Amino acid sequence: MAQRAHLLSKNLLFSGWLGLLLTLSCTERKEQAAEVVSFSEVDVSQIPNDTISSLDSSLQLENGIYFYATKPYSGFIKEVYDNRAVKSIGSYYQGMQHGLTKTFYPGGSMRDIRSYKENVGYGRHYGYWENGNMKFDFAYHFDKREGTQKQWYESGSPYAFLNFKDDREDGLQQAWRENGKPYINYEARDGFRYGLQKSALCYSLEDEEVKSTVFKEEVAVKE
């Protein structure tokens, strides 16, 4: 009897957790605050305030390192459109992308701002659609996705809010069609997914069980 009571208690606890998870998939979506991820500041104090053109004949790229007149380049590199409007400008130290790189649309509006540390993504990367609406807001820790990664449709409607740890899904994963209907709403834990996946319908119980699927793919595409 004691064993049966223990099993019943466990089943009730699981059912309560499951009910809460499924309720999330059936309710109106709400934006969630991004997970706070701590990064040490990228030190750009040694980068001189010199700017050269990406077309400068003395600038050469070798194995991911920019050289200027045979020496690793430190400073800013600017790329322009045919109409001379700025296309991008980024900071480099010892030939490596280090600090912020900003890119712009031909009309001059901001396209995205990305942060690097010694040639790898490090810190916040965020961008805009040409109409000014937010497009994405990501965080990278040495080129690996970390924390909440957000994406929006050009209309401004949320597209996906996904959580990552060490570049793998971890925690709540949500995505919506542009009309607002959810098609992804599940928890990722230890390589398994629990909940609504790639469906336009609200999830319902089948035989009072929810079967988990093994982690095989990533939902988000790196920008």
Pairing of strands 51-53, 75-80: parallel
Domain boundary at 121, 155, 178, which?
A: 121
Mean pLDDT for all residues in the chain: 79
Close Cβ partners of 70 (under 8 Å, ≥ 6 residues apart): none
Q: Which domain holds residue 178?
A: 15-39+138-223
pLDDT at 9: 45
Task: Identify whether 62 is part of a domain.
Answer: yes
pLDDT at 192: 76
Domain boundary at 90, 121, 152, which?
A: 121
Query: Span 99-122, mean pLDDT?
Result: 97
Task: Identify whether 132 is part of a domain.
Answer: no
Task: Identify whether 98 is part of a domain.
Answer: yes
Q: Please tell me the number of Cα atoms within 13 Å of 7 on its side-chain side.
A: 4
**pLDDT confidence bin for 195, thresholds 50/70/90:** confident
Distance in angstroms (rounded) separating the CA atoms of residues 156 and 129:
9
Domain boundary at 121, 152, 178, which?
A: 121
DSSP letter string, 80-94:
E-TTS-EEEEEEEET
Q: Please indicate, yes or no, whether residues 215 and 185 belong to a single structural domain of this protein.
A: yes
Q: What is the DSSP letter of 170?
A: E
Q: Please indicate, yes or no, whether residues 78 and 92 belong to a single structural domain of this protein.
A: yes
Q: Please indicate, yes or no, whether residues 204 and 149 belong to a single structural domain of this protein.
A: yes
Q: Please indicate, yes or no, whether residues 142 and 218 belong to a single structural domain of this protein.
A: yes
The predicted-structure confidence for 54-64, as pLDDT tens digits, reads as follows 999 999 999 99
Name the residue among 200, 197, 221, 77 with its Cα closest to residue 135: 221
Task: Identify whether 47 is part of a domain.
Answer: yes
User: What 3-state class would DSSP assign to 128?
Assistant: strand
Q: Please indicate, yes or no, whether residues 222 and 142 belong to a single structural domain of this protein.
A: yes
Q: CB neighbours (10 Å) of residue 175?
A: 21
Q: Please indicate, yes or no, whether residues 213 and 166 belong to a single structural domain of this protein.
A: yes
Q: Please indicate, yes or no, whether residues 80 and 21 belong to a single structural domain of this protein.
A: no
Q: Please indicate, yes or no, whether residues 153 and 111 belong to a single structural domain of this protein.
A: no
Would you state the structure tokens that stand for residue 8, as one six-digit string?
Answer: 């019943």
Task: Identify whether 131 is part of a domain.
Answer: no
The predicted-structure confidence for 5-64, as pLDDT tens digits, reads as follows 444 444 444 444 444 444 444 444 444 444 455 678 899 999 999 999 999 999 999 999
Q: CB neighbours (10 Å) of residue 196?
A: 25
Q: What is the DSSP letter of 104?
A: E
Pairing of strands 51-53, 192-197: unpaired
Name the residue among 198, 203, 208 with its Cα closest to residue 23: 203
| Burial annotation 63-76 (CB, 10 A radius, 16+ → b, else e) | eeebebeeeebbbb
Q: Please indicate, yes or no, whether residues 150 and 218 belong to a single structural domain of this protein.
A: yes
Task: Identify whether 63 is part of a domain.
Answer: yes
Q: Please indicate, yes or no, whether residues 221 and 150 belong to a single structural domain of this protein.
A: yes
**Which one is predicted more confidently, 113 or 26?**
113
Q: How many domains does the chain contain in total?
A: 2
Distance in angstroms (rounded) separating the CA atoms of residues 172 and 162:
7
Distance in angstroms (rounded) separating the CA atoms of residues 61 and 16:
58
Q: Please indicate, yes or no, whether residues 106 and 151 belong to a single structural domain of this protein.
A: no
pLDDT at 167: 93
Q: Please indicate, yes or no, whether residues 86 and 162 belong to a single structural domain of this protein.
A: no
The predicted-structure confidence for 157-194, as pLDDT tens digits, reads as follows 999 999 999 999 999 999 999 999 988 899 988 877 77
Task: Identify whether 9 is part of a domain.
Answer: no
